[in-house]
Structure 1
Amino acid sequence: MEASLRNKRVLVVGRGSGLARAVSDAALAAGARVIAAGRHFSILEKDYQGTDVIVKSVDLIDEDSITALAEDLGRVDHVVSVASARARGKLSELSPEAIILSFHTKVVGPIMLAKHFAPKMPEDGSFVLFSGVAALEPDPGFLGVAATNGSVNTVIRSLAVELAPIRVNAISPGTVDTGAWDSLGEQKKAELFASLSKVNPSRRIGTPEDIAQAVVFAMTNTFMTGVSLAIDGGQPLV
């Protein structure tokens, strides 16, 4: 059975671009009332200018900030956390600070979101967290990312049991064409995408819209919980 998002209140935590923006747009298209929250309120406000999205401020590494947002918003039906702080780099390059920030943003912060928002949610509500393909595909330079994403896959199972019947799921994207790869430079980014597209069973790179569709599915499928949906084009298979 699939539920509707029409007139449901959906909180999307993350930036105003990339995956978070695609999720917000998809939820709006499905009839939801969307609240976007993140650390940089002024940037979010600018990114969502001219839309029906309500913008709020929250810092996932500050529990008081999460508490304040929950008290401000009251009841919401679905919470989606897209925020990340990638601890990329080979072992010799990793710092404790980068790893801790990654865990705080994608693991500890979402746990605190569940702590403070679940008591205000209806029984048919849901949380959607973000994992990632690195948890399934060991690769030099992605140890910190893999550890964080693997933890998310564990957290959703525990939360799904503890918060039942509120559902808790994760989306695990593969390589997606967002601004996250722009730091490589245009040529290196194009070369990476071409090489991955050549071997991926899907024969292409993912789009933010691919991921957003999966988030809407996770929010509306009322018989799915404790699941990490791999939207990765089969990337770990090769």
Structure 2
Amino acid sequence: MSENTQYADRRMVIIGAGSRTGRLLAQRAAAAGAHLVLAGPDRRKLERTAGELPGRVESAVVDLADERTIADLAKTAGRFDHLVSTAGMPANGPLQDLQLEAVQRAFAAKVIGPLLLAKHLAGQVSEGGSFTFFSGVAAWRPSPERTVMATTNGALAFLVQALAVEIAPVRVNAVSPGIVDTGAWDAMGADKDAFLRRVAESNPARRVGSPDDLVKAVFYAMDNPYVTGSVLHVDGGGRLA
């Protein structure tokens, strides 16, 4: 997104602002003049992001598994133009090892939380405003030990369609990342580079994604007034490979 005055005096809520993608989104939005409300479960990460930004920034601790905190966010947010949630809480592993609490939190991040965000905040969205949530390529390319991830991301893709009808004319969309080098793969250590190279060699775009790719898609979803109920696939064609 080119920096301009389009977001001057616009108010934007970013859930997951402590993540690498959320921080970059906040930086781009602040540079374009937006007034930001940063939200997420970790106050220290929110404060770090806020400290990097110019202009007026507010923050709110939000747990998408706790409706009370979502209701409190609505009070902090007030009237706003766009809400973006990058939230995700993977519950990966063999079926026999899955823990109910982890599965419930995965659904809270991707399905129940977005539903409750719409419940509590849809009435506060300004004309032309939107919600944008993050789905993921696993919904279209399920694999062993990723059953919960595939299901929650797929459910979110259908949820944005239903919400786009339910709360119209507020627009509701999703961004669906593929394999993106957000730092999530750093735990692989020395195996990370080889893994990302294999991904790049196998998808049609012949590269892995970057947080910048995701942020560009978010701004497209917010800026285009004729896009709603859509999933923007930012996966290098990985779901097709």
3-state SS, counterpart of residue 91 of structure 2: coil
Describe how 1:65-144 pairs up with structure 2 within 5 A.
65-144=69-148
Residue matched to 2:51 = 49
Give yes or no for contact 1:38–1:58 (8 Å, CA) kept in 2: yes
Query: In the aligned structure 1, how far is the partner of 2:106 from the partner of 2:29?
Result: 26
Residue matched to 2:222 = 219
| Correspondence for 1:25 among 9, 19, 27 | 27
Query: In the aligned structure 1, how far is the partner of 2:215 from the partner of 2:116?
Result: 23
The CA RMSD measured in Å over matched residues stands at 1.5
Residue matched to 1:229 = 232
Query: In the aligned structure 2, how far is the partner of 1:83 from the partner of 1:166?
Result: 20
Query: In the aligned structure 2, how far is the partner of 1:104 from the partner of 1:11?
Result: 18
Q: CA offsets per residue over residues 101-154 of structure 1, 9 Å max, x none? A: 100111111111111111111231100011000000011121110000001001
| Correspondence for 1:62 among 57, 60, 66 | 66
Give the deviation of 1:15 after TM superposition. 4.0
TM norm structure 1: 0.94
Give the deviation of 1:32 after TM superposition. 1.7
Structure 1: 5+ residue stretches without partners: none
Greater relative CO, 1 or 2 (CA 8 Å, sep 6+): 1
Give yes or no for contact 1:153–1:170 (8 Å, CA) kept in 2: yes
| Correspondence for 1:204 among 192, 197, 207 | 207
3-state SS, counterpart of residue 184 of structure 2: helix
Describe how 1:155-174 pairs up with structure 2 within 5 A.
155-174=159-178
Q: CA offsets per residue over residues 141-200 of structure 1, 9 Å max, x none? A: 211100000010010000000110000000000000012112222x12111101001111
Query: In the aligned structure 2, how far is the partner of 1:22 from the partner of 1:94?
Result: 32
Query: In the aligned structure 1, how far is the partner of 2:76 from the partner of 2:49?
Result: 22
Give yes or no for contact 1:5–1:220 (8 Å, CA) kept in 2: no
Query: In the aligned structure 2, how far is the partner of 1:47 from the partner of 1:30?
Result: 16
TM norm structure 2: 0.93
Query: In the aligned structure 1, how far is the partner of 2:203 from the partner of 2:163?
Result: 32
Give yes or no for contact 2:157–2:174 (8 Å, CA) kept in 1: yes
Query: In the aligned structure 1, how far is the partner of 2:93 from the partner of 2:187?
Result: 14
Residue matched to 1:37 = 39
Query: In the aligned structure 2, how far is the partner of 1:63 from the partner of 1:17?
Result: 22
Give the deviation of 1:6 after TM superposition. 2.8
3-state SS, counterpart of residue 158 of structure 2: helix
